[in-house]
Amino acid sequence: MSSAITACILCSRNCGLTVEIQDQKFIKILGDEQHPVSKGYICQKAARLNYYQNHDDRLQHPLKRQADGSFAQISWDEALTEIAQKLNDTKKQYTGNTFAFVGGGGQGNHLGGIYSSQLLAAMESRFIYTALAQEKTGDFWVNGRLFGNQQCHTTEDVEHADYVLFIGTNPFQSHGIVNARDTLKAIQKDQQRTMVVIDPRLSDTAKMADVHVQLKPSTDAFLMAAMLSIMVREGLHDKVFLAEHCTGFTALETELLAIDVADFAHRCDVPLAQIEQVARGFATAKRACVRVDLGTQHSLHTTLNAYLEKLLYLITGNFGKKGGNNLHTHLIPLVSNTDERKKGIRTAKHKMFPIGGLYPPNILPDEINHSGEDRIRAVWVDSSNPVSTYANTTAYTEAFSKLDLLVVVDVAMTETARLAHYVLPAASQFEKVEATAFNLEFPENFSHFRHPLFSPLGESLPEPEIYTRLFEKMGIIPQNFPLLSTLAKLEPKATSRLGYMMGLQLLFKRKPALQKFAPSIMYRSLGKSLPNNLAAAAPLLGLTMAYAAKYGEAVKRAGYEGSKKTLGNSLFNSILTNKSGVILSKHEYDEMWSLLKTKDKRVHLEIPEMLAELRQLPHEESVTNSEYPFILMAGERRSYNANQIYRDAAWRKTDVNGTMRMHPTDAEALGVEKGGEVVCESSVGSIRAFVELDSSVRPGVVTLPNGYGLSYKNGAPVGPQLNMLTPSDHCDPLTKTPYHKFVPVKLTRVGVSV
Ligand SMILES: Nc1nc2c(c(=O)[nH]1)N[C@H]1C(S)=C(S)[C@@H](COP(=O)(O)OP(=O)(O)OC[C@H]3O[C@@H](n4cnc5c(=O)[nH]c(N)nc54)[C@H](O)[C@@H]3O)O[C@H]1N2
Ligand SMILES: Nc1nc2c(c(=O)[nH]1)N[C@H]1C(S)=C(S)[C@@H](COP(=O)(O)OP(=O)(O)OC[C@H]3O[C@@H](n4cnc5c(=O)[nH]c(N)nc54)[C@H](O)[C@@H]3O)O[C@H]1N2
Ligand code: SF4
Ligand SMILES: [Mo]
């Protein structure tokens, strides 16, 4: 048995872990007290990580689908040679834009994403579809307008706020904030601090709150607009802050003053007095922040919600300060910036533009089914199970079955992999070097680079090796870089690595086409001279150098030494050697303004498209559907779900079937008892679910958990296959992110109790 340090890979917190391991297994899993952010914290899900590392769906060999539909083992060399040939043929015959990449990193594997993203360049395609573009692109789009760039992402300082608004999020179960349960308990215990939860359900977080605003589902836009209106009517907005840091307030104020607050309160089914109480409490608190998640991002008015939520902290001046919302830095950027007005970036069928560089999964089946020559013909999936996790499982299954080429890179035989022509086995996140890009903190940001704990299972390979070999086979990069490798070796003490970086620049100057493949080139050259098989870390050198060049003072405050030329390299060395993770940078609060990307360094509050949608709200008819009278919240986070990372249902200690929460009055009307089964039918499909009587939900609303419905060992799915119910076109008109929290369904009783 030996001890090691790693991180949890189940949610975006990526808590640090200390583990005891033996024979490819975890024997004991504890929180790592040395981790700079989680400091020993973990939740109940991490202890089960053996269910990710060792199970019967783990892939061990490259597989090729045969004419009869079965899979046969083939060698890596055969697989990559054949795939490279097919990709090159697709590009030549139909142009690269008939190729789409899907996924590219889950909850903790973003180092692989640095390598896989080169495939788009190799294919000369712009189409990348990811899970982020089915939840967060409304947020990114609004960030682009307010802050000048879609990479300007904000974080919330819940730990130091006196007044916290949780809107559409249940951090007690989903985490998403620093050491969630400890942080929530600290606020709950402190009489001076206030926690408000805005949620149609009495969630575990709502149970801890000072105020629970139990609004009608998908009425957040009305509620937040009413709060903002109350603030400006009562003069509670921060005039000094607005004058100094923002433009466009006058136009916004006019719209907010025009709102009929009593009507909006009525539409949310929330007492006006409660909305006033929260608006006043938030606006007058010393330090207040807002934290949102899928409750506002998977419900009606997604993009408007993102705008209004940000206005709450902006007009009250809770931006750029301790306990407020803040912009932060990135070492590994999760998204890029795209201007939707740019020509030649739209999809063939929906004419959809990217946001943050990403295209929305809801439209991909249509882009494949499209009759034009420019339809998507080849798809590459990595670290994602779209057939099961993206909206409309039937549409995905049918569309993927029509593809000329489907390649899946995964650690496990997933529902999507079963449809593929080639399945490529990836080493697990504990069998290779990995890193998370979810480093979204301010004023201190961190990085955690993980070392391998086990050797790769069977013939599985880490993604850096898979992609680099593929590019070599495609004839896109040479196999050797003798000069660069020599330069890397010439600096054994690695004090600056400047010689190597200059060599790299020289290569790119001579062959500009190679620049897009810098990660693989660095892996094959610099990687060879890195200690302990950490080759895949090589591209981080470029990122740490860029980071140090941008935020030199903040990096030095975090304790790193070096000149302009060497600081990035000391950061790189430190990341590679500190197994528990490192603090990258320490900013001062007033430096946050330098992260804004607008030319005038002000926040641009006036977004005409959003103000137009706001103006339309009073004219909106309330959404009712007599054929599908219930609202299903399709995707609740609970104690025992974690996206689709665990496939074996045995990992769950409770709630094995993933029950449907239903209000007792609804159950009575349907004649369903506790444990009874219902058929849940939407406009696109139907599934069965066992019912749990639960008065935490509003009457007329039912919930089902995220992450169930997997066919482990190709057996019957366990728990609800949610996306059998979710229509592709039930989505935000601007961003095309799905309304998973607002799926109209019909329920009928199946039988007696189980
Ligand atoms: N245990 C667990 N944790 C996870 C995950 C997991 O699968 N399991 N997944 C991770 C991922 S990928 C994500 S994105 C996050 C998501 O994390 P969260 O968004 O916090 O989780 P959810 O339970 O999906 O939704 C949050 C709340 O939104 C409420 N809600 C539903 N409709 C509305 C509405 O119209 N308005 C408002 N205001 N609230 C509404 C729900 O009742 C629920 O309590 O969780 C992460 N953490
Ligand atoms: N109806 C409904 N649908 C939802 C949601 C919902 O609330 N309701 N939630 C949505 C949200 S917010 C999200 S983020 C998505 C998540 O859905 P996906 O983006 O599909 O991600 P995961 O479920 O995390 O699955 C990740 C896949 O990565 C594989 N994997 C794990 N480690 C590695 C690795 O090291 N390398 C490779 N190559 N593969 C690996 C796993 O085996 C798994 O197949 O689901 C979405 N789907
Ligand atoms: S699931 Fe999230 S909160 Fe829980 S231990 Fe893992 S990373 Fe931490
Ligand atoms: Mo997510």
> Which amino acid is residue 621, in one-letter code?
E
Distance CA 472, CA 438 (A): 30
Distance CA 754, CA 747 (A): 18
Whether 46 lines ligand 3, by a CB cut-off of 6 Å, is: yes
Q: Which has the closest alpha carbon to 467: 506, 412, 409, 509?
A: 409
The pLDDT of residue 303: 98
> How far apart are the CA of 132 and the centre of ligand 4, in A?
7
CA angle, residues 573, 574, 578, in degrees to nearest 5:
125
Q: For residue 14, give the ligand nearest its CA.
A: 3
Mean per-residue pLDDT for 529-556? 95
The pLDDT of residue 494: 64
The pLDDT of residue 753: 44
* H-helix segments, 493-566: 498-510, 518-524, 540-550, 552-557
Classify the phi-psi angles of 500: left when phi > 0, otherwise alpha if psi is within -120 to 50, otherwise beta.
alpha
Q: For residue 646, give the ligand nearest its CA.
A: 2
The pLDDT of residue 95: 95
3-state secondary structure 548-596: HHHCHHHHHHCCCCCCCCCHHHHHHHHHHHCCCCEEEEECCHHHHHHHC
| Residue with CA closest to ligand 1 atom 5 | 642
Mean per-residue pLDDT for 222-238? 98
> How far apart are the CA of 96 and the centre of ligand 1, in A?
36
Helix orientation angle between 608-616 and 249-257, rounded to the nearest 10 degrees: 0
| Residue with CA closest to ligand 2 atom 13 | 131
pLDDT beyond 90 at 586: yes
Whether 707 lines ligand 1, by a CB cut-off of 6 Å, is: yes
Please report which confidence band the pLDDT of residue 226 belongs to, taking 50, 70 and 90 as the band edges: very high
Bridge partners (DSSP) of residue 734 are none
> How far apart are the CA of 526 and the centre of ligand 4, in A?
34
> How far apart are the CA of 182 and the centre of ligand 3, in A?
13
Whether 218 lines ligand 1, by a CB cut-off of 6 Å, is: yes
Q: How many CA atoms lie within 13 A of 204 on its CB side?
A: 14
Residues 6+ apart with CB under 8 A from 117: 101, 104, 128
> Which amino acid is residue 366, in one-letter code?
D
Q: What are the tens digits of pLDDT across the range 17-34?
A: 999 999 999 999 999 999
| Residue with CA closest to ligand 2 atom 21 | 384
Whether 36 lines ligand 1, by a CB cut-off of 6 Å, is: no
Please report which confidence band the pLDDT of residue 625 belongs to, taking 50, 70 and 90 as the band edges: confident
Q: Which has the closest alpha carbon to 273: 226, 236, 205?
A: 226
Residues 6+ apart with CB under 8 A from 753: 673, 674, 675, 676
Please report which confidence band the pLDDT of residue 493 belongs to, taking 50, 70 and 90 as the band edges: low
Q: Which has the closest alpha carbon to 692: 605, 609, 753?
A: 753
First to last CA, the chain: 44
Q: What is the DSSP letter of 352?
A: P
Whether 13 lines ligand 3, by a CB cut-off of 6 Å, is: yes
Whether 151 lines ligand 1, by a CB cut-off of 6 Å, is: no
Whether 214 lines ligand 1, by a CB cut-off of 6 Å, is: no
> How far apart are the CA of 42 and the centre of ligand 3, in A?
6
Q: What percent of the chain has pLDDT over 90?
A: 96
Whether 11 lines ligand 3, by a CB cut-off of 6 Å, is: yes
Q: What are the tens digits of pLDDT across the range 673-690?
A: 999 999 999 999 999 999
Give the pair of three-digit tokens for residue 213.
């605003």
Whether 704 lines ligand 3, by a CB cut-off of 6 Å, is: no
Q: What are the tens digits of pLDDT across the range 409-433?
A: 999 999 999 999 999 999 999 999 9
Which atom of ligand 3 is found nearest the CA of 13?
7
Please report which confidence band the pLDDT of residue 752 belongs to, taking 50, 70 and 90 as the band edges: very low
Whether 9 lines ligand 3, by a CB cut-off of 6 Å, is: no
Please report which confidence band the pLDDT of residue 492 belongs to, taking 50, 70 and 90 as the band edges: low
Q: For residue 216, give the ligand nearest its CA.
A: 1
| Residue with CA closest to ligand 3 atom 4 | 43
Whether 421 lines ligand 3, by a CB cut-off of 6 Å, is: no
pLDDT beyond 70 at 738: yes
Q: Which has the closest alpha carbon to 313: 605, 93, 706?
A: 605
pLDDT beyond 90 at 621: no
The owner of tokens 């090729």 is: 64
| Best mutation site among 137, 169, 216 for ligand 1 pocket (most ligand atoms within 8 Å of CB) | 169
Distance CA 237, CA 316 (A): 5
Which atom of ligand 2 is found nearest the CA of 385?
20
Q: What are the tens digits of pLDDT across the range 359-412?
A: 999 999 999 999 999 999 999 999 999 999 999 999 999 999 999 999 999 999
Whether 229 lines ligand 1, by a CB cut-off of 6 Å, is: no
CA angle, residues 409, 412, 417, in degrees to nearest 5:
55
Q: What are the tens digits of pLDDT across the range 38-70?
A: 999 999 999 999 999 999 999 999 999 999 999
> How far apart are the CA of 174 and the centre of ligand 3, in A?
9
Instruction: Read off the pTM.
Output: 0.98
Mean per-residue pLDDT for 693-717? 97
Distance CA 36, CA 284 (A): 32
The owner of tokens 């009759």 is: 371
Each residue of 650-687: b (16+ CB within 10 Å) or e? Answer: ebbeebebbbbbbbeebbeebebeeebbbebbbbbbeb
pLDDT beyond 60 at 754: no
CB 448 within 8 A of CB 435: yes
Give the pair of three-digit tokens for residue 25.
């297994």
Q: Which has the closest alpha carbon to 695: 687, 685, 686, 703?
A: 703
Q: For residue 292, give the ligand nearest its CA.
A: 1
The pLDDT of residue 358: 98
| Residue with CA closest to ligand 1 atom 44 | 170
> How far apart are the CA of 11 and the centre of ligand 4, in A?
8
Mean per-residue pLDDT of the chain: 96
CB 713 within 8 A of CB 59: no
> How far apart are the CA of 563 and the centre of ligand 4, in A?
39
Distance CA 164, CA 211 (A): 10
Whether 31 lines ligand 1, by a CB cut-off of 6 Å, is: no
> How far apart are the CA of 44 and the centre of ligand 3, in A?
8
Which atom of ligand 1 is found nearest the CA of 170?
20
Positive/negative CA dihedral, 112, 114, 116, 117: positive
> How far apart are the CA of 295 and the centre of ligand 1, in A?
6
| Residue with CA closest to ligand 3 atom 7 | 14
Whether 658 lines ligand 1, by a CB cut-off of 6 Å, is: no
> How far apart are the CA of 135 and the centre of ligand 4, in A?
7
Q: For residue 106, give the ligand nearest its CA.
A: 2
Mean per-residue pLDDT for 260-283? 98
> How far apart are the CA of 168 and the centre of ligand 1, in A?
7
Strands 405-410 and 422-425: parallel
Q: What are the tens digits of pLDDT across the range 392-402?
A: 999 999 999 99
3-state secondary structure 2-62: EEEEEECCCCCCCCEEEEEEECCEEEEEEECCCCCCCCCCCCCCHHHCHHHHCCCCECCCC
Contact residues of ligand 2, CB 6 A cut-off: 103, 106-107, 109, 112, 131, 135, 294, 382-386, 389, 409-412, 414, 426, 428-429, 634-635, 643-645, 706, 722-723, 726, 740
Distance CA 408, CA 427 (A): 13
Please report which confidence band the pLDDT of residue 622 belongs to, taking 50, 70 and 90 as the band edges: confident
Phi (first) and psi of residue 738, to 5 degrees: -70, 155
| Best mutation site among 291, 388, 741, 742 for ligand 1 pocket (most ligand atoms within 8 Å of CB) | 741
Which atom of ligand 2 is found nearest the CA of 389?
47
